Structures are given as structure tokens and as C-alpha cells.
Amino acid sequence: MTPGTSTLLHAIILTCCVASGFGQEPVAVRAADGGAASLLCDHDARPGEVRAFKWTKGREIIYFMALDGIVTPPGPDYADRVTIVDQINLRIEGLTLEDIGQYTCTVTVGNSEGLAIVDLDILVLPSRPVLTAYLDGVLVNLGTTSLPLDAELMLECTSSGGKPPAELGWYIDDVAVDSSLYTYNSTADPDTNIGDAVSRLTHLVSLSDHLAKYECESSGPIPPLEAQRSVGVLIRLSIYDTTLPPKITPRPTTEEDIAIVAPQEAETALGVPSIIGIIVGIIAAVALLAAIIVILLQNRKRQNKNHTYVVNPDSKCSTKKYR
């Protein structure tokens, strides 16, 4: 090989392989499952210098476009889901877990190429939290169970399917509970980082718990995922004190107390069913009395009809004339 030829070949290799000054560290982008993500092709080329660009994931070409009009449309996995924004950036919609990975934007500037790399991660919103209650270690339905004072109440909150697993927190009457008062544990698949979370809040029942509203809140990483409380899974506790005797209303001791208490007792004792019974009894008594009167009248008429008059034949008839 002649010296001139060697110098020319060396110059061609340098021209081919020197980048145009961009190719930064991978940029991390996170988006929600089912949402959209915009991947930026960050380059330092001046306007008009870009001859072509190409978006790839691994060896798969997602989109290619050259200034001479040559366009390679996206494959079936990305058809109708990708668009080019600002002439070079890639927007993907309808994201799924399959879209997780590293995306490369290759830009041709003059006789050289530069790379921009984006690491896309997809996050999954955890399920709405579910509450379970245990009283002294026994599962209970707080919707139908009253709680005795000083019993040990343990509330358990679970949320599943989050990527990463959900963060859990507690609220009592819309006031956040200090994290030192409850436990939190989570497990996740080492490959997908999808997992479940559980939190337990334990304390002794007190009078302050009466009609209290308990809520558990699950949340994913913010942004882009928002927190969600256990709406519709509220717990309102009903408390009774087993250490106190039943309340007894004292009887009146003076005439004045009798005058005051008697109407209240009468009002309490005579409910609507009692009043209706009295009215029905009165109507029945009136009907019975009316029936007795009718029977007596009918018997009287019958006796008058069957009565026989005896005339004395020896008595003289009056001959007095009437004018």
C-alpha cells in the first residue's frame, strides 16, 4: 500500500467514527402504565446540519427519517402509538410494561453520527387499599361489631400490584398518623419490581375511638402516579364500656318530681302502637254496645207484636157520641 493511500484510508476512518460532539449519559424517563412518554433526542447540531435520524430499541428500528424523504415507518409493536415531535423527538402512547428498555436516537450530522440514549421505565399504580380488622387476634366485621374498651384492635391495610410496591399511610378523622405508630412491609419481584405492601396499625380501644373514621392511603412514586385513599372502605368504630354498670333512671321522690317526670314517662311508655290499640279498643266497645242496643230494641218490638188483649164481655160499651 502506498503512503498516500494509507493516509487517505486513515482520514476516511476518522471521518466515519468521530461523533459530532453529543452522546451524553443515558437520560432516565419514567411514565405510568397506559400513559404516554416523550423521549428527547438531545443533540448539539446546528439547524440544517442533521441529514437523518433514527430511533431504535435494541436492534429494532422504531422510526427512521432522512432529509431526502426516505422514511421507515414503525413496526407492528409501535404502529399507531408513536409520533415525531419537534421534528426529532419520539412520543410513545399507550405504554405497557413491554415498552421498558433503552432507546437510542442516532443522528447523522455531515459525515458523522451522534447518539442520544434514553432509559424508559414504566410505573404501575398499586391497587386501592383494602382494610381488615382484628379484635384480640380474631377477624371482625367492624360494620356490625361494637368494641369493648381496652381491647386490642389491629387494623391491616394491603395494596397489591404496584411497581414499585405502594407506600402506605394512615389517617384518623382526616389527620395523618405518625409513621412511628404503624408498621410497613413490602415484597417485590426482583426482575419486574412489581409487588405488594402491607401496613398494620395496633392500639388499645379507648373512648376517643367512638365513631372515629379510619382510612388507609396507598401511593405510588410521585410524579407521575398519584395517591389514593381507601374511599368506601372507611371504619367507624362503635365503643361500649364493659366496666360501667347499665344506666338506670331514678324514680321520682317528691310530688314535684312526679309532676315533672310523669308526663315524660307517659310519653315514653305510650308509643304509636299503644295509642292505636286504645283507639281500636274504644271502637270495638262502641260497636258492641250498639249491637246490644239493637238486639234489645228488636226483642221489645217482638214482644209488643205478640201481646194478647183480653176484653171483659160483661162491661157495657159506651154509647157516648163524639162530635
Per-residue model confidence as pLDDT tens digits over 176-216: 999 999 999 999 999 999 999 999 999 888 888 777 888 88
Check whether residue 83 and residue 139 sit in a common domain: no
Question: Is residue 72 within 8 Å of 60, Cβ to Cβ?
Answer: no
Q: What is the mean pLDDT of residues 125-154?
A: 85
pLDDT value, residue 254: 53
The more confident residue out of 269 and 161 is: 161
Q: What is the mean pLDDT of residues 165-186?
A: 93
Q: Is residue 306 part of a domain?
A: no
Judge whether residue 149 has pLDDT over 50.
Answer: yes
Question: Is residue 125 within 8 Å of 162, Cβ to Cβ?
Answer: yes
Residue type, 72: T
pLDDT value, residue 157: 93
d(CA 248, CA 293): 50
Q: What is the mean pLDDT of residues 13-33?
A: 62
d(CA 152, CA 123): 37
Q: What is the mean pLDDT of residues 125-131?
A: 88
pLDDT value, residue 248: 54
The more confident residue out of 187 and 143 is: 187
pLDDT value, residue 285: 82
Check whether residue 138 and residue 85 sit in a common domain: no
Question: Is residue 200 within 8 Å of 227, Cβ to Cβ?
Answer: no
Kindly report which listed range (20-24, 40-44, 188-192) carries the lowest average pLDDT score: 20-24
What mean pLDDT value characterizes the chain? 76
Residue 192: which CATH number?
A: 2.60.40.10
Question: Which of 99-113, 240-254, 288-302 reaches the highest mean pLDDT?
Answer: 99-113
The predicted model scores a pTM of 0.58
Q: Is residue 92 part of a domain?
A: yes
pLDDT value, residue 274: 65
157, three cell numbers: 391495610
Check whether residue 162 and residue 104 sit in a common domain: no
The more confident residue out of 48 and 29 is: 29
Judge whether residue 84 has pLDDT over 70.
Answer: yes
Give percent above pLDDT 70 in the chain.
Answer: 68
Check whether residue 116 and residue 147 sit in a common domain: no
| End-to-end Cα spacing for the chain | 182
Check whether residue 134 and residue 235 sit in a common domain: yes
Whole domain around residue 64: which residue ranges? 20-123
Judge whether residue 96 has pLDDT over 70.
Answer: yes
**Three-state secondary-structure class, residue 7:** helix
pLDDT value, residue 154: 93
Q: Is residue 280 part of a domain?
A: no
Check whether residue 139 and residue 158 sit in a common domain: yes
Kindly report which listed range (24-33, 38-47, 49-58, 182-191) carries the lowest average pLDDT score: 38-47
Q: Is residue 282 part of a domain?
A: no
Q: Is residue 276 part of a domain?
A: no
**Long-range CB pairs of 52-56, under 8 A, 24+ apart, other chains included:** 52/107, 52/108, 53/88, 53/105, 53/106, 53/107, 53/108, 54/105, 54/106, 55/90, 55/103, 55/104, 55/105, 55/106, 56/103, 56/104, 56/106
The more confident residue out of 323 and 237 is: 237
> How many CA atoms are closer than 13 Å to the CA of 146, on its beta-carbon side?
9
Per-residue model confidence as pLDDT tens digits over 264-281: 444 444 455 567 778 878
pLDDT value, residue 241: 58
Total domains in the chain come to 2
Last residue of a domain, one of 217, 240, 263: 240
Check whether residue 110 and residue 139 sit in a common domain: no
> How many CA atoms are closer than 13 Å to the CA of 185, on its beta-carbon side?
5
Question: Which of 61-65, 117-121, 202-206, 313-317 reaches the highest mean pLDDT?
Answer: 117-121
d(CA 319, CA 58): 150
Q: Is residue 312 part of a domain?
A: no
Check whether residue 216 and residue 170 sit in a common domain: yes
Q: Is residue 172 part of a domain?
A: yes
Last residue of a domain, one of 215, 240, 265: 240
pLDDT value, residue 21: 47
Q: Is residue 3 part of a domain?
A: no
Last residue of a domain, one of 66, 92, 123: 123
CB count, 10 Å around CB of 139?
Answer: 9
Kindly report which listed range (95-99, 199-203, 250-254) carries the lowest average pLDDT score: 250-254
The more confident residue out of 134 and 208 is: 134
